[in-house]
Amino acid sequence: MSSEKKNEVILIIKKIMKKISEDVVIQKQMPILDLPKIGYDNTVWSNEKRMLTIGDKKIEVSPDSVKKIPTFAQYLVMANAVKKLLDEDMESTIRGMYYATLSNVGDEKNKQKFWNNQDNSDDAIKAVELLTGIPREEFSVTSKPKGMISGPIKLRVGGDIIDCNLGSRSTSQLIPTNIGDVQIEDVKADFVMVVEKDTVLSNIRKSGFIQKYNAILMTGSGEPDRATRIMVKKLNESWNKPVVVFADADPWGLGIALRYKIGSESLSYDSDRLVTPNAQVLGMMFSDIYEYNIPEVARLTATDEDINRANDMKKKPWLQDKKWQKELNLFLNKKEKCELDAFFKHGFKYLAETYLPQKLRQIGLI
Amino acid sequence: MYLKSLNPASSVLKKDEQKPPINTQQTAKMDKHKIIYNKKAESEFFVDNSALAGFTGERILYMAVRELIENALDSCELFSILPSIKISLKTFDQSNDLWVLDCEDNGTGISSDKLPVAVCSFLTSAKYMEKQQRGLFGVGLKMVAAFSTKDTDFPIKVWSKSMEESDEYYYELRTDIGTNKPIVLLKKQVNKSESHIDGPSGFRIRVVLRARLVPITKNKIYDYVTQTSIVNPYAFITFETDDGMFSFDRRTSIMPTPAKEILPHPSDMDLQTLKKAISKHSGQKITLPKILCYSFQKLSYEKAKEIISNSDLDFDLKDTKISFSEHDLIKIVNICKKTKFQNPNTDHLSPIGQGILTIGMMSEYTIVSNKNIETTSSDNNKRDAMMVNEAKKLNHDKEDKNFSKTETSNIGASKPNFSVRVLQPVLTAYTSRTGIINNRPTIIETGLAYGGDINSFKLYRFANKIPLLYDEGSDVAREVVSEVEINKLGITKKQAKEQFSTNKESKRDRVIEVLPIHIFFHICSTKIPYKTAGKESIASEGELKSYMKSCLSELYRKLSTQIRKELKLKEAENKMKLYKHYLPFIVGAITDSLGIKNSNLDDSFSSLIEKHLTKKPPTGVGDDDNVVNNSEPPHSGFVPKSSLSLSNKAVDLEKKKKLTISKNFKDIGDKSIKNTELNKTLSNSSSNSNASFVVSDKPKEKERRHKNDKKIKNSKKN
Write the secondary structure of A58-122 as one string of H (helix), E (strand) and C (coil).
Answer: EEEECCCCCCHHHHHHHHHHHHHHHHHHHHCCCCEEHHHHHHHCCCEECCCCCCEECCCCHHHHH
The residue of chain B nearest to residue A18, with distances taken between CA atoms, is B594
Listing from the earlier edge strand, what are the strands of the sheet with A191-195?
A: A173-174, A148-150, A215-219, A191-195, A243-246, A280-283
What digits encode the pLDDT tens for the residues B514-548?
A: 888 899 999 988 888 888 766 788 888 888 888 99
Topology given in CATH for the domain delimited by A188-362: Dna Topoisomerase Vi A Subunit; Chain: A, domain 2 (3.40.1360)
Q: Is the pLDDT of residue B447 over 80?
A: yes
The architecture CATH gives domain B45-248:
2-Layer Sandwich (3.30)
What's the complex ipTM?
0.85
Candidates A40, A75, A99, A350; catalytic one: A99
Reported for A287-296, long-range contacts at CB under 8 A and 24+ positions apart, including other chains, are A287/A326, A287/A327, A287/A330, A288/A249, A288/A338, A288/A355, A289/A249, A289/A334, A289/A336, A289/A338, A292/A343, A292/A346, A292/A355, A293/A346, A294/A338, A294/A342, A294/A343, A294/A345, A295/A345
Compare all CA atoms of chain A with the CA of B604 and give the residue at the minimum distance. A25
Give CA–CA dist B458/B45, Å, rounded. Answer: 38
At A129 the pLDDT is 92
Report which listed range, A83-97, B3-17, B327-341, is most confident. A83-97
| Dist CA B491 CA B488 (whole Å) | 7
Sequence-ordered strand ranges (E) for B82-167? 84-93, 98-105, 156-161
Q: Is B588 helix (H, G, I), strand (E, B) or coil?
A: helix
Q: Is the dihedral of CA B279, B282, B288, B289 positive or negative?
A: negative
Answer whether A170 touches B (CB < 8 Å).
no
- CA–CA separation, B694 and B644 (whole Å): 9
Q: Do A73 and B582 touch (CB under 8 A)?
A: yes
Decide if B578 and A106 are in contact by the 8 Å CB cutoff: yes
User: Comparing A1-10, B112-121, B678-687, which segment has the lowest mean pLDDT?
Assistant: B678-687
Say how far apart CA A284 and CA A297 lie, in whole Å. Answer: 17
H/E stretch holding A53: strand A51-54
B616 touches chain A (CB under 8 A): yes
Pairwise CB contact (< 8 Å): B608 & A28: yes
Instruction: Give the gap in angstroms from C-alpha B400 to the nearest C-alpha of chain A.
Output: 26
B608 vs A: CB within 8 A: yes
Residue contact A77–B588, C-beta within 8 A: yes
Quick check: B601 and A25 CB within 8 A? yes
C-beta separation of A12 from A132 below 8 A: yes
A146-171 confidence digits (pLDDT tens): 999 999 999 999 889 999 998 888 88
Sign of CA dihedral B451, B452, B454, B459: negative
Residues of A in contact with B604 (CB under 8 A): 24-25, 28
Please indicate whether the domains covering B251-257+347-624+703-718 and B266-338 agree at the CATH topology level: no
A-facing residues of B in 501-530 (CB < 8 A) are: 504
Question: What confidence score (pLDDT) does residue A109 get?
Answer: 63
- Short-list B275, B272, B283, CA closest to B321: B283
Active-site annotation holds for A99: yes
Q: What are the residue ranges of helices labelled H in B423-514?
A: 476-483, 493-495
Contact A25 B598 (CB under 8 A): yes
| Maximal C-alpha separation, chain A | 74
Count CB-CB contacts under 10 A for residue A280: 17
Average pLDDT score over chain B:
73
Specify the higher pLDDT residue, A52 or B131.
A52
- Across the interface, whether the CB atoms of B594 and A83 are under 8 A apart is answered no
Q: Does B386 score more than 60 pLDDT?
A: no
Please provide the CATH number assigned to the domain covering B251-257+347-624+703-718.
3.30.230.10
B-interface mutation test, from A24, A108, A120, most B Cβ less than 10 A away: A24
Higher pLDDT, A268 or B21: A268
Q: Describe the crossing of helices B544-594 and B476-483 by its angle, rounded to 10 degrees.
A: 50
pLDDT of residue B268: 76
Nearest residue on chain B to A29, alpha-carbon basis: B608
Q: What pLDDT, on the 0 to 100 scale, is given for residue A277? A: 95
Give the chain A residue whose CA is nearest to the CA of B592. A80
pLDDT digits (tens, 9 = 90+) for B202-225: 999 999 999 988 888 888 999 999
Per-residue model confidence as pLDDT tens digits over B143-152: 899 999 988 9
- Intervals of CATH 3.40.1360.10 along chain A: 188-362
pLDDT value at residue B652: 40
Residue in B579, B585, B604 nearest the CB of A24:
B604
Q: How far is residue B332's CA from residue B326's CA, in Å, rounded to a whole number?
A: 10
pLDDT exceeds cutoff 60 at B654: no
Q: What's the gap in Å between the CA of B487 and the closest CA on chain A?
A: 23
The whole-angstrom separation of Cα A79 and Cα A10 is 9
Query: Does A76 contact B at CB distance below 8 Å?
Result: yes
Q: Is the CB of residue B96 less than 8 Å from the CB of residue B154?
A: no
Please give, rounded to a whole number of angstroms, the shortest distance from the CA of B373 to a CA of chain A. Answer: 22
- pLDDT digit string (tens) for B165-206? 888 999 999 998 888 889 999 998 888 888 888 788 999 999
Condensed to tens digits (0 to 9), the pLDDT of residues A104-116 reads 887 766 677 889 8
Which chain B residue has its CA at the smallest distance from A87's CA? B593
Whole-angstrom CA distances from B33 to A30, B16, B28 are 104, 10, 9
B504/A108 Cβ within 8 A: yes
Least confident of A2-6, A75-79, A183-187, A254-258: A2-6
The answer to whether the beta carbons of residues B357 and B452 sit under 8 Å apart is: no
- Please report which helix (H) or strand (E) contains residue A191, including its range: strand A191-195
Residue ranges, CATH 1.10.10.10, chain A: 3-142
Q: What is the dihedral of CA B710, B711, B716, B717, to 10 degrees?
A: -110
Q: A70: which chain B residues are within 8 Å (Cβ-Cβ)?
A: 578, 582
pLDDT of B696 = 44
First and final CA of chain B: distance in angstroms?
69
User: For the domain bounded by A3-142, which CATH number is listed?
Assistant: 1.10.10.10
- Domain regions of chain B by residue span: 2-37, 45-248, 251-257+347-624+703-718, 266-338
pLDDT band at A285 (very low <50, low <70, confident <90, very high): very high
All residues at 6 or more sequence positions from B41 whose CB lies less than 8 Å from its CB, including other chains: B177, B178, B179, B180
Q: Can you name the residues that pair with A51 across neighbouring β-strands?
A: A46
Helices (H), B456-543: 476-483, 493-495
CB pairs under 8 A between A and B: 92
Partner-chain contact B576 A70, CB within 8 Å: no
Distance from CA of A272 to the nearest CA of B (A): 30
Averaged pLDDT score across all residues of chain A: 91
Does B618 contact A66 at a Cβ distance shorter than 8 Å? Answer: yes
Cα distance from A115 to chain B (closest Cα, Å)? Answer: 12
- Architecture (CATH level 2) of domain B266-338: Orthogonal Bundle (1.10)
Helix (H, G, I), strand (E, B) or coil at B642: helix
Of B586, B593, B616, the CB nearest to A63: B586
Q: Given pLDDT bands bounded at 50, 70 and 90, which one contains residue B26?
A: low
Listed in sequence order, the residues at least 6 apart from B403 whose beta carbon sits closer than 8 Å to its beta carbon are B410, B411
Cα distances from B83 to residues A24, B71, B86, B255, B524, in angstroms, run 68, 11, 10, 10, 20
**What amino acid occupies position B89?**
L
pLDDT tens digits along A191-226: 999 999 999 999 999 999 999 999 999 999 999 999
**Rounded to an integer, what distance in angstroms lies between the CA atom of residue B363 and that of residue B647?**
13
Task: Using the predicted structure, report yes or no on whether residue B419 has a pLDDT greater than 70.
Answer: yes
